[in-house]
Chain A
C-alpha cells in the first residue's frame, strides 16, 4: 500500500514514443480549432459581420483605387504611344487679342494673319540639332462629296511622312507619294471613318471624291485611329482625328490658298494661316523635352503674339505618370487607414470575445489546453474574421472597377497583384491585431477563469 513506485505507469521513455506517434496531427488540430472558431463567429453573426466590414471596405478600396489609377496610367501611356515618343507637336492657335479685334470691328472682314509659317519650320529644321524631320500640315475644313453623300471634314495637306510620324497605318491602298506631292496631284487618302461614311457599300479605292470643284482620286484608306484626342484637346483645336482626309501639302496650298473665310454669327470671318500644325521628330527620346524648350524659345522670338501651341507627348506622359503616382499614394493612404481601422475593430471584438469567453478558456485550460492552444484558438478566429473580410473585399474590389468601367466609361485595370496584396495584408492584420487579445486569453489564471460568471 505504501509503495510509491508504479512500475511502467509513467515511464518517460514510453510516453516519449507515444507522443512521437501522435505528433503528426497538426492538420486535424488546425481543422478542429478552425471549426471551433467558425462556430463562435457564427454564434455572433451580426457582430462578426460588422467587425468584418472595416476590413471589407479597406480591401475593396485598395483594389478599386489601384484599378482606377492603373487604368488611368494605361490610358495615358496609350495616348502617348499614339502621339509618338520622339515627337513634338506644334499647332497654330488664334491669339486672344486678334480674336477680340475681329469681333468688334465693322466693315468688310479683314483677314487675320497668324500661326506657324514655312519659315519657322525651315528655321527649326536647319538650326536645331537633333531634329530628324519636320512634317508640316495645313488643315482646312471642307465639305467632301461622293455623289449625293457629303461630309464636313478636315482636309489635311501634308507630306508623305505623316503616317509614320504618328504611328498611323494604312488599312488599304497606299499613302500618296513624293512625286504626287511634287506634282500637286489630286489624290486623297481617307480616314477609316470618312471612308465608311461616304462609301457605305462599295470600295472607295480608285474612286474619287469632290472637294470644292475638284475631283480627287482615292489612293488609300487609313486604319481607324481610335480615340487619340489628347493632342487635339490639349492644343485647343476642335479638330477630331477620325474625320480627316489627307491630300498632298502642295495640292492643299494651290487649291485652297492660305486664306480661308467662313460664315460666323457676327458676319464673315477670314483668316490667313500658312501652316496649321507641324510634327517635329527628334532623333533621341532623351532630348525631346530639351529640344521642345529650344523650339519654344525660337518661336517666342519669331512671333509677336502667342499664336502657336507646343505640346510634347513625353512631357504629358511624365505629368500623367506623376499624377498617377500621387493618386496611388493617396489611394494607398486611404486604404491603409481603413485597414488600420478595420484591424482595430477586430482587436476590439476579439477583446470582447475573450472577456465573454473567460469561462470557456478556464474550462479548456482545466481539460489540458496549453497557453499556446488558447493563443492559437483566438488567433485563428481573428485570422478567419479578417480573412473572410479580405475575401469579400477582394470580390467587391473586383466588381467595383467593373461597375466604374461600365457606367462611367473609365478604363480600370485590376492587376493580379492588387487582390493578392490586399488579401495578404488583411490576413496579416488579423494576426497583428489578434495577438494581443489571444495573449490576454492565454495568460488568464485558470482558477480565476473557471470562477468567472
Chain B
C-alpha cells in the first residue's frame, strides 16, 4: 500500500487566466434526491445554471430551499442524483472520490461561515494547505502563501494560530487559503454570518476587490445587503431556480 500518492495530481497548477466572460461552470438539469430508508426526498428539481468567469453571484432563498445541497454539489462534496455538472471542461458527475478530491483542491476555493481553519496550524500553514495537497514544493507554497497573507493584510500575523486572531482576521486567512490555488470559482457559504458588521464590511470590501481583479465569486447568503453587492442574484425556491438576474 502506498501511503502517499502524488501520481495523479491533475490540476497541479492553476489553469491559465481566462478571458472574462468564458464559462467556468455549468449545471445541467441537476436533481438531488435523498433516500432515508423507504422515504425519498427530492431537494433539487432540475436546476440548470451557467457561471462565467468574473461573475459575482449570490444565491438566496429560505431555509430548506436546497441552497446547501446546491452548494455541496457545486463544491464537488456531493454528487447529483441526475444531471451533469461541468467544472471547467470536466464532467464531475461521473468522477471517483479521488478525482473529486483533486478537482476540489485544484479548481475550487472554499470560504465557510465558521472559517474552518485548522487550529493546530498557524496562519501560513493554513494558507498552504490546499497547495500541499496539490503537490507544490515547500518553497513554492511558502512564496504563494506569503503573498496571499500580504494581500489580505495579515503579513505580520503569519505565525499566529487561528485562536489568536479575531473573527474577521480568521475569515481573511480563509479567503487567502481559498485563493491559494487560484481556483475557477470561490464558493462562500454565509461568509459574514459569524462576523460583526465592521468585520463583515471588511470582508465584503475584500470580495469587491477580488471581483474587480476578475475572480469568480459565488456566495450563499441570507443577507440582502450581501446580495445587493453581487452582480447576479439567483433566488432558489423549493429546489428550483425562481429568479436569476
Contact = CB atoms under 8 A, between A and B. Distances in A.
A370 B102 contact: yes
Given A43-B120, A370-B102, A450-B112, A4 B133 contact: no
B3 A372 contact: yes
A367 interface: yes
Contacts of B9: 18-19, 22-23
B12 interface: yes
Contact of B75 (A26, A364, A366, A370): A366
Interface in B84-137: 86, 88-90, 97-98, 101-102, 104-106, 110, 112, 116-118, 120-121, 129-130, 132-137
Interface size class of A (residues with CB under 8 A): 35 or more
B243 interface: no
A213 interface: no
B7 interface: yes
Interface in A337-370: 359-360, 362-370
A219 to B, nearest CB: 75
Contact of B52 (A1, A33, A376): A1
Interface stretch (B18-26, B37-45, B195-203, B221-229): B18-26
A9 B18 contact: yes
B143 interface: no
Of B106, B129, B181, most A-chain CB atoms within 10 Å: B129
B89 A25 contact: no
B204 interface: no
A253 interface: no
Contact of B10 (A9, A19, A376): A19
Interface of B is mostly: loop
A30 B23 contact: no
A6 B89 contact: yes
Of A15, A26, A30, A379, most B-chain CB atoms within 10 Å: A15
A234 interface: no
Contacts of B102: 368, 370
B135 A23 contact: yes
B244 interface: no
Interface string B156-167: 000000000000
A166 interface: no
Interface string A16-40: 1011011111101110110010011
B120 A367 contact: no
Contacts of B4: 26, 29-30, 33, 372-373, 376
A342 B13 CA distance: 44
B115 to A, nearest CB: 10
B104 A1 contact: no
A184 interface: no
Contacts of B97: 370-371
A203 B91 CA distance: 101
Contacts of A371: 97-98, 101
Interface size class of B (residues with CB under 8 A): 35 or more
Contact of B26 (A4, A16, A368, A446): A4
B11 interface: yes
B8 interface: yes
Contacts of B212: none
Given A10-B90, A23-B6, A367-B130, A450 B77 contact: yes
Contacts of B88: 6, 9-10
B104 to A, nearest CB: 5
A364 B23 CA distance: 27
A4 B23 contact: yes
A363 B121 contact: no
A21 B13 CA distance: 11
B120 A36 contact: yes
A445 to B, nearest CB: 8
A19 B18 contact: no
A164 B12 CA distance: 80
A6 B12 contact: no
Given A367-B129, A372-B3, A18 B13 contact: yes
B15 interface: yes
Given A4-B89, A8-B16, A39-B121, A365 B7 contact: no
B138 interface: yes
Nearest to A453: B114
18 contacts: A4-B23, A6-B23, A9-B15, A9-B88, A12-B10, A19-B9, A22-B9, A29-B4, A29-B6, A36-B121, A359-B116, A365-B104, A367-B129, A368-B104, A368-B130, A369-B105, A372-B2, A380-B3
Instruction: Give 3 closest A-B pairs by Cβ, nearest first.
Output: A368-B105, A368-B133, A22-B135
Interface of B: 2-13, 15-16, 18, 21-23, 26, 50, 52, 72, 75, 77-78, 86, 88-90, 97-98, 101-102, 104-106, 110, 112, 116-118, 120-121, 129-130, 132-138, 177, 181
Interface of A: 1-6, 8-10, 12, 15-16, 18-19, 21-26, 28-30, 32-33, 36, 39-40, 43, 359-360, 362-373, 375-376, 379-380, 446-447, 450
Given A6-B89, A23-B135, A365-B101, 8 more contacts: A1-B52, A10-B15, A10-B89, A22-B6, A23-B7, A364-B118, A367-B104, A370-B102
